[in-house]
Structure 1
Amino acid sequence: MQDLQPIPVAPTGATPAQTEQKLRAQAVQLEAAFLSEMLKCAEVGRPMDSFGGGIGEEQFASFLRDAYSEKMAEKGGIGLAESIFHALTKGQGHV
């Protein structure tokens, strides 16, 4: 059986720092998507029964959740991005 080799994640000529920065950004984006789904389950952005904004508020609630989740992930979130980053770089010799 052959030994499995990691697939390079960076294009040829990219420095390890550039690759690490790109992977970290992707991990943060993935955490933000996860947090957005969790906020949706928690009904964040759900219109209030009284003084609600109508159908417009319902349609734009996802934008509010996405903005919240992106800011949360940028500030460290729940630590999921760091775990994802370490998993992505495990076989790449970065960390």
Structure 2
Amino acid sequence: MASPNLSIAVSLPSADQVNKAAPAAADKDAALRKSAAEFESVFIAEMLSHAGFDKALSENSGFGGEAFSRMLVESYAEEITNNGGFGLADQIYQQLKGRSS
């Protein structure tokens, strides 16, 4: 019994395609890290606000203190995140990276 001659076409990416895909993957990775850090920053700001930190900052601060206390809380939250935060951003990043692979 003669077996049929089957040919399989394999399409390998060219060097140009590989070089173009590498920055796209790096951009995606950077976007995932940024999104995770932004989420942690918002989460920390909400925690600080619910703990009354914004009210404590605006106490005896005069007119406009309440308006700027929220922005100050958000700034503190960003600094906490930029200095390592709670590790939440890393966990979120790992989860998002696992889903995108």
TM range (shorter): 0.7 to 0.9
With normalisation by structure 2, the TM-score equals 0.70
Q: Which runs of 5+ in 1 are unaligned?
A: 1-12
Amino acid at match of 2:31: K
4+ residue runs over 2 A deviation? none
Q: Which residue identity lines up with residue 48 of structure 2 in the other structure?
A: L
CA distance in 1 between counterparts of 2:37 and 2:45 reads: 12
Deviation at 1:45, TM superposition (A): 2.9
Counterpart among 26, 43, 51 of residue 17 in structure 1 = 26
Length-normalised TM-score, structure 1 = 0.74
Question: Partner residue of 2:41?
Answer: 32
**Stretches of structure 2 lacking an aligned partner (at least 5 in a row):** 1-20
Larger radius of gyration between Structure 1 and Structure 2: 2
Higher relative contact order (CA 8 A, sep 6+): 1
- Count of aligned pairs: 79
Q: CA deviation at 1:55?
A: 3.6
More helix by share: 2
Aligned alpha-carbon RMSD (Å): 1.7
State the percentage of identical aligned residues.
Answer: 31
Q: Which amino acid aligns with 1:32?
A: S
